[in-house]
Amino acid sequence: MTRRATLLFCLTLLVMPVFPAFAQDDDTTPGFVNKLGEEVDVRSGSRVLADEFQSGNVILPELAGPITGIPVLPQIQLRGGNTQINNLTGQTIGIDYTQIFTGFRPFVHATQSEVSVAASGRTIVATYNNSAGLHLIPNPSGPGLLVDQVQLSGFSVSQDGGQTWASGFFPPSITTDASGNVFAGDTFGDPSVGVDRSGNFYFANLASTVVLPNGKPPEAHGTIQVNKSSNGGQTWSAGAIVQIDDASDKEWLAVGPDPVHKNRDNIYVTWTSFQQTACELRFGRSTDGGATWTAKTIFVPTADPKAANPQNCLQFSNPVVDGITGTLYVPFLRFSNSDQDFIQMLVSNDAGETFHFAMFNIPGAPNPTVMPITQPGEFTECGATRQSNGRFSVNLRLTIHAGTNVDHSLTGLRRFVNASRLTVQPALAARNGTLYLAWSNSTSLSFGDPNGRSNIKFIRSDDGGNTWTPEQIVNPVTSDDVQHVLPALAIDEDPNDVHITYYTQHSNGTVDLDMANSHDQGNSFPTERTVRVTSESFNLPPTNIPNPSMAQPFATTNYDRQIAQCYALGEYQSVFTANGSVYAGWGDMRNLMTEPINALSPISGQTHSQEDVMVQKVKAQ
């Protein structure tokens, strides 16, 4: 028989959990950093979900009544132009649905976002988080509900260049005990997909696996896992474990030639491990097509007594392999305890055996290996939870948002119903020693400034990361566009062509996906070569809805209640080039849903936007 690891886990809170504030030292809980005296959760949405499912309690019935006064979002007219690849007519796997249980407000499963795309020939594989892979059942042992399925890692595949699509979920890892019982793990998303020169696709995600200690009950542990498809994404292997790591977060995958054995493609994965004294950067490698893996820690950042200097926490690594030289580059975000954070980059010329730092040599920077940046977005409150000891844990996030500030926050920071958290994952591409790097940067030098705007910045190195061109803004700068965030970058077979996709938020709160294009290796990104990828602007969905009760007066909830508050766009989107074509994949919110009528729901009967996945074959003009 098959037994699921999730049956060892349950849920307790009606919102995603947040932990006590801490400043990343020996006495603190990993996953947060101190910014100007405030504690900021730097875990990904998938890590938050995984932590929730290991909390060891039961979802209990609702006690609070509905909250009035939340505005209904305006209607969004649907029209063509982009291809939706999830929740399609006739599709039976991974479609949106709602579960309703007596005593509970509805459980909507309708979030698909955080897209990673790869292509080979006419085959396109788009991967994304999909909350339709979550499922609840009544607790057979008492009151409340149990989660009996956690498959957050979804995909859609096209074999005909994007004309038609089929969808599915990635298989988890499998463990078999001595009696033949089969235990399946869970998948928690953070999708990252790549493809080798033979057309084999590889997919990395956060997951869990079942460990069978001698003479003890099965135990579920967090892992980094990789699936492989040798038939164009139609079927996938069970998850191969890169490393068992309960503290793992924000993995990313890269595929490319070995620097010595140029006919062999290696598969690399990097991720953050939230240890007690530091956020470690870890690394996995497979040299046999993903069958076996070795893993190690490649960088442990240290704390610094000066708050403005780089500290002992990092996140959002993004490995890239130079397709000509085989050199491996690993940029990441390094936090300070002050306004500016830093991009830093490790470089390996020997397939990850050794690493050294790239040089930025920024005047006034704490050291030559770091590039100061200011993260975009306003510092906002995404709910606060009263703990059993009576203290409140506050979920503070950088966000873009729409609508008006909702009063009654715990911290005094602004709180918005329609909000999406922001991160900075450096977007990188490399070919024959030339590096192309893009990121989102606030126009303010103050962390979380509510008056700050943001732009996509770009630099290039022609010597493998030793020297760089002056930074430039790639997006058109207009008064109507206030935020440009979450960039992805790809280069064409023609080394002159550089493509950068990013979300643009307009002054009216709506969002589009745009693409900046250069035909001179990134020396310029002319406004007339900027393409609006989305055929329709969309509104952010309600992800931070007030849901107070006597016990939890500052609680908020996502409309998709098992997804973290202020999670909408996800933490990235994707652009990929293959055979002369450019493909963009993104989380899109033009489609509407209407909430079930339910007396316990704070948005009963309201119509609002929801997250779906779109793909567009783009030809820069």
pLDDT score at 270: 98
Higher-pLDDT residue of 118 and 16 is 118
- Nearest residue to 340 via CA among 308, 366, 362: 308
Residue 12 pLDDT greater than 50, yes or no: no
Q: Are 455 and 440 in contact (CB under 8 A)?
A: yes
pLDDT digits (tens, 9 = 90+) for 285-311: 999 999 999 999 999 999 999 999 999
Closest CA to 15 of 561, 599, 600: 561
Averaged pLDDT for residues 184-190: 95
73-87, 214-228, 245-259, 394-408: range with lowest mean pLDDT: 73-87
Residue 57 binned pLDDT confidence (cut-offs 50, 70, 90): low
Backbone angles phi, psi at 7, to 5 degrees: -65, -15
More confident residue, 619 or 558: 558
pLDDT of residue 408: 83
pLDDT of residue 49: 80
As a whole number, mean pLDDT of residues 4-27 equals 32
- Closest of 404, 378, 375, 381 to residue 393, by C-alpha: 381
- The answer to whether residue 72 scores a pLDDT higher than 70 is no
Rounded CA-CA distance 458/252 in Å is: 21
How many whole angstroms separate alpha carbon 498 and alpha carbon 154?
A: 29
Residue 7 has pLDDT above 70, yes or no: no
Say yes or no to pLDDT of 23 above 60: no
| Lowest mean per-residue pLDDT among 77-81, 198-202, 277-281, 562-566 | 77-81
In whole angstroms, give the CA distance from residue 424 to residue 397. 13
- In this prediction, residues 446-461 reach a mean pLDDT of 98
Residue type, 107: F
% of the chain beyond a pLDDT of 70: 90
Q: What is the per-residue pLDDT for 69?
A: 34
What is the distance between the alpha carbons of residues 566 and 416, in angstroms, rounded to a whole number? 9
Residue 28: pLDDT band by 50, 70, 90 thresholds? low
Distances (CA, A) of 276 to 24, 208, 221, 273, 312: 7, 20, 17, 10, 10
DSSP assigned state of 186:
-
Give the DSSP letter string of 536-552. Answer: S-BPPP--SEE---SS-
**Residue 165 clears pLDDT 50, i.e. is over it:** yes
What percentage of the chain reaches a pLDDT higher than 90?
79
Determine the pLDDT at residue 214.
82
- Each residue's pLDDT tens digit, 411-450: 999 999 999 999 999 999 999 999 999 999 999 999 999 9
Average pLDDT, the chain: 90
Comparing 578 with 266, the larger pLDDT belongs to 266
Q: How far is CA 29 from the centre of its chain?
A: 21
CB 42 within 8 A of CB 526: no
Q: Which domains does the chain have, with CATH numbers?
A: 2-618 (2.120.10.10)
- ∠ CA 360-503-84, nearest 5°, is 130
Closest listed residue to residue 454, CA positions, set 472, 441, 437 = 441
pTM for the complete prediction? 0.92
